[in-house]
Chain A
């Protein structure tokens, strides 16, 4: 694994933005910045890795117990998220660990048991599985099984996830649904720099163990004005990014940008007004916002990169069906990755791109 991983990291580090464009005719999404900054005050143009770096800088500045660690974080991280932090805060607070995900997770839990803040990086979400036992059996259950005597609430895992154009089986996965099945965890996915900064700061402060899946294709591609001051994006809260009456489109991460474009296309081609919801939080998720929208529009399309079967879309669809049965005008549609491993050269045929989403919308209209 390590060799492959290094290859992957190097690739990703050097090529995320330029090579994706060079090797593929076009990226499968167009990044559109948030319309409004989350708070007032001076802003700075940042891409997503810079916003994440900024959030960790703030967290370390104000909390001397905060540690940043993982594989290759000391020199700045293979995606540059921890650039400059070791120089600023020292080797004791920003450091490399041996190459062992279960160790990173177990170590992070121990740090958090003492009340110190642990910000641990899994180099790719694809490699979080060796730590699955520590995360699912230990981190998630610590508070519960000890009767609240002990907890590891001050830990946050960050993991680059999602499609990147050429990541194939082990640099593309979106494993959020595995963790959504685990009571005790909080799981979030940002759609851009502002959200990444706000969510990361919220997760670090949160008294429960959190996982932030960061869509790696956005690290450089997503650029927007980000407030320089600290701010937090609420966990468990979805964002309605576009208001519409005819149909609800739900996604998270990179897929949000696909859906925003699809909403434009649907308006232009079919005259349909789509409401676009960024779920943001996978666990716990914002049932109220989702169901209010579904009741209003009567038609719902859910899109995610992860495979269909038992993907988080299934949970959303089942709940919407239960809560909004009398309002639904058509079956809930899911446009997702196929039930296959994530392939290399076939990526354009695998991802739920704008044309598959548009086709899904057409079906819902015609139902």
Chain B
């Protein structure tokens, strides 16, 4: 009884306060005009949400909200539906975009084959996703830090990672800056501001947020962070952590999702039931932009706009590139086990990012069939030559096993290294010492 009385008194008090409080009153008017279902215009005072009361239990049904549209700048013929969307990049820039996509595609084909031949242990191709790499990389500053997942090699191509850099990493030879410690395609480059890839999915996303926070604090910061991840990785708890931290801590970070329809064999309809990944952004209070990831200009424009937004406001944004993983997941996967070959056809032809850019270039007479064939041949030759060379380059000193675990090698590791040295000395014929630099 007394509780109820108190509640009623509180309600009356609440009403009076609203009348007196200017900002709350403004919101009340807004509520009344926007939502006829409010109970007497009374505004809720719960700290956890800014919302109006309604007098019926109205469920927010997911099917009632419109999916976020997919921004497309040009169609499959390379024609801008709205000419104002043409970023008017120079011929040189567009040609670099095209050639970088071709380079990645050509290198992928050969390295995929070389894995099939047992020359490297593992590989992951980027087929069908080339435009999302090159288009986004082109819209960033080279000083922006990149945290990737593993299928973003095109970003490195754009920034100047060379064919020899890629192949040396895959071989783990002594030219690999990563010192042969990680599996192939786990690239990293300090000078290109590309943070070394690791296998655990989603872990890089909150890390990118932390890096963006640190950059934000630097005087006159003009550097943002971009983190790439697949739609599968977006199911990890780390993605949730990152979205929420990025929003609450106001971090200039671009959360770039490559939604290619599959996480290994799992189709996206078994990955989530909402409106993709972009559809989650609003729930975190984050801006979102969804676009055609096979349209390099849509990717470029979206990323450019995102970059300006995050740096101007010190806020995050979710980008979602819609595309299709033409690749098998990896060399350990045969995707025909879970999807029909016919489905691939369309993505390999009209909807292919390289063919779309080719169509655009043809219209401007920037495309020369003969020159491009020559280019592809030259790249093929360079990749094959590099494979032969990288294969012969010795692997690092095997003692690198023990280095870099810590900044300085602690006593117990020194002891273990010494033990192994003595063991290898005694049993050297049983170890592949000739493959390693001594």
Footprint of B on A, CB under 8 Å?
A: 65, 67, 92, 95, 97-98, 100, 102-103, 105-116, 118, 130, 133-134, 137-138, 141-151, 153, 183-184, 186, 206-208, 236, 284, 287-288
Decide if A150 touches B196 in the complex (CB within 8 Å). yes
Q: What's the minimum C-beta distance from B160 to chain A, rounded to whole angstroms? A: 15
List chain B residues, Cβ under 8 A from A144. Answer: 181, 404-405
List chain B residues, Cβ under 8 A from A106. Answer: 203, 205-207, 209-210, 238, 241-242
Decide if A108 touches B244 in the complex (CB within 8 Å). no
B141 at the interface (CB under 8 A from A): no
Decide if A114 touches B211 in the complex (CB within 8 Å). yes
- Contacting A150 at CB < 8 Å: which of B190, B212, B406, B408? B190
B38 at the interface (CB under 8 A from A): no
**Interface hit among B12-20, B130-138, B171-179, B267-275:** B171-179
- Contacting B245 at CB < 8 Å: which of A107, A133, A153, A184? A107
Decide if B206 touches A107 in the complex (CB within 8 Å). yes
Q: In the complex, what residue of chain B is closest to A151 when comparing beta carbons?
A: B407
Decide if A110 touches B237 in the complex (CB within 8 Å). no
Residue among B145, B214, B225 facing the most chain A CB atoms (10 A cut-off) = B214
- Contacting A97 at CB < 8 Å: which of B203, B245, B407, B411? B245
Decide if A103 touches B188 in the complex (CB within 8 Å). no
B67 at the interface (CB under 8 A from A): no
Decide if A143 touches B211 in the complex (CB within 8 Å). no
Footprint of A on B, CB under 8 Å?
A: 145, 147, 176-179, 181-182, 186, 188-190, 195-196, 198, 200, 203, 205-215, 217, 225, 237-238, 240-242, 244-245, 248-249, 403-408, 410-412
Decide if B237 touches A284 in the complex (CB within 8 Å). no
List chain A residues, Cβ under 8 A from B189. Answer: 149
Q: What's the minimum C-beta distance from B208 to chain A, rounded to whole angstroms? A: 6
Decide if A138 touches B178 in the complex (CB within 8 Å). no
Decide if B238 touches A103 in the complex (CB within 8 Å). yes
List chain B residues, Cβ under 8 A from A100. Answer: 237, 240-241, 244-245
Query: Mind listing 18 A-B residue pairs with CB under 8 Å?
Result: A102-B238, A107-B249, A110-B208, A110-B209, A110-B214, A111-B214, A113-B195, A114-B211, A134-B238, A138-B207, A143-B405, A143-B406, A145-B196, A149-B177, A151-B407, A186-B406, A207-B407, A284-B410
Q: In the complex, what residue of chain A is closest to B210 when comparing beta carbons?
A: A110
Decide if B200 touches A137 in the complex (CB within 8 Å). yes
List chain B residues, Cβ under 8 A from A133. Answer: 200, 203, 238
List chain B residues, Cβ under 8 A from A288. Answer: 411
List chain B residues, Cβ under 8 A from A151. Answer: 407
Residue among A107, A183, A207 facing the most chain B CB atoms (10 A cut-off) = A107
Given contacts A103-B206, A110-B207, 8 further A-B contacts (CB under 8 A): A97-B245, A98-B244, A103-B242, A110-B210, A114-B214, A137-B198, A144-B404, A147-B179
Tell me the complex Cα distance, A111–B411, Å: 29
List chain A residues, Cβ under 8 A from B182. Answer: 145
Residue among B178, B182, B406 facing the most chain A CB atoms (10 A cut-off) = B406
Q: What's the minimum C-beta distance from A59 to chain B, rounded to whole angstroms? A: 16
Tell me the complex Cα distance, A110–B242, Å: 11
Query: When A103-B241, A138-B203, A149-B196 are in contact, do A108 and B210 touch as well, CB less than 8 Å?
Result: yes
Tell me the complex Cα distance, A133–B208, Å: 16
List chain B residues, Cβ under 8 A from A284. Answer: 410-412
Residue among B181, B212, B248, B249 facing the most chain A CB atoms (10 A cut-off) = B249
- Contacting B237 at CB < 8 Å: which of A98, A102, A186, A206? A102
Tell me the complex Cα distance, A148–B403, Å: 9
- The secondary structure that dominates the B interface is mixed
Tell me the complex Cα distance, A112–B407, Å: 14
Tell me the complex Cα distance, A111–B214, Å: 5
Decide if B206 touches A134 in the complex (CB within 8 Å). yes
Tell me the complex Cα distance, A206–B408, Å: 10
- Contacting A147 at CB < 8 Å: which of B177, B195, B406? B177
Those 5 A-B pairs whose CB atoms lie nearest each other, nearest first: A110-B210, A106-B206, A103-B241, A146-B196, A110-B207
Q: In the complex, what residue of chain A is closest to B179 when comparing beta carbons?
A: A147
Residue among B186, B211, B240 facing the most chain A CB atoms (10 A cut-off) = B211
List chain B residues, Cβ under 8 A from A130. Answer: 237
Q: What's the minimum C-beta distance from B241 to chain A, rounded to whole angstroms? A: 3
- Contacting A113 at CB < 8 Å: which of B211, B238, B410? B211
Q: What's the minimum C-beta distance from B326 to chain A, rounded to whole angstroms? A: 29
Q: What's the minimum C-beta distance from B45 to chain A, rounded to whole angstroms? A: 22
Query: When A100-B245, A145-B196, A284-B412 are in contact, do A65 and B217 touch as well, CB less than 8 Å?
Result: yes
Decide if B188 touches A98 in the complex (CB within 8 Å). no
Decide if A138 touches B200 in the complex (CB within 8 Å). yes
- Contacting B241 at CB < 8 Å: which of A102, A116, A208? A102
List chain B residues, Cβ under 8 A from A108. Answer: 210
- Contacting A110 at CB < 8 Å: which of B178, B196, B211, B244? B211
Q: In the complex, what residue of chain B is closest to A285 when comparing beta carbons?
A: B412
- Contacting B212 at CB < 8 Å: which of A92, A105, A110, A112? A110
Q: In the complex, what residue of chain B is closest to A155 when comparing beta carbons?
A: B210
- Contacting A138 at CB < 8 Å: which of B198, B211, B403? B198
List chain A residues, Cβ under 8 A from B249. Answer: 95, 97, 107
Query: When A100-B241, A149-B190, A207-B407 are in contact, do A141 and B210 touch as well, CB less than 8 Å?
Result: no
List chain B residues, Cβ under 8 A from A143. Answer: 404-407
List chain B residues, Cβ under 8 A from A183. Answer: 405
List chain A residues, Cβ under 8 A from B211. Answer: 110-111, 113-114
Q: What's the minimum C-beta distance from B384 to chain A, rounded to whole angstroms? A: 26
Decide if B198 touches A145 in the complex (CB within 8 Å). yes
List chain B residues, Cβ under 8 A from A137. Answer: 198, 200, 203
Decide if B207 touches A109 in the complex (CB within 8 Å). yes
Tell me the complex Cα distance, A98–B200, Å: 22
Residue among A97, A116, A145, A186 facing the most chain B CB atoms (10 A cut-off) = A145
Tell me the complex Cα distance, A114–B188, Å: 15
List chain A residues, Cβ under 8 A from B190. Answer: 149-150
List chain B residues, Cβ under 8 A from A134. Answer: 203, 206, 238
Tell me the complex Cα distance, A149–B242, Å: 24
Q: In the complex, what residue of chain B is closest to A141 when comparing beta carbons?
A: B198
Query: When A106-B238, A106-B242 are in contact, do A98 and B210 touch as well, CB less than 8 Å?
Result: no
Tell me the complex Cα distance, A191–B408, Å: 26
- Contacting B176 at CB < 8 Å: which of A67, A111, A147, A236? A147
Tell me the complex Cα distance, A160–B195, Å: 32
Tell me the complex Cα distance, A153–B404, Å: 11
List chain A residues, Cβ under 8 A from B209. Answer: 106-107, 110
Tell me the complex Cα distance, A116–B218, Å: 10
Decide if A103 touches B244 in the complex (CB within 8 Å). yes
Decide if A145 touches B181 in the complex (CB within 8 Å). yes
Query: When A138-B198, A143-B404 are in contact, do A110 and B186 touch as well, CB less than 8 Å?
Result: no
- Contacting A184 at CB < 8 Å: which of B145, B178, B405? B405
Q: In the complex, what residue of chain B is closest to A111 when comparing beta carbons?
A: B210
Tell me the complex Cα distance, A130–B310, Å: 29
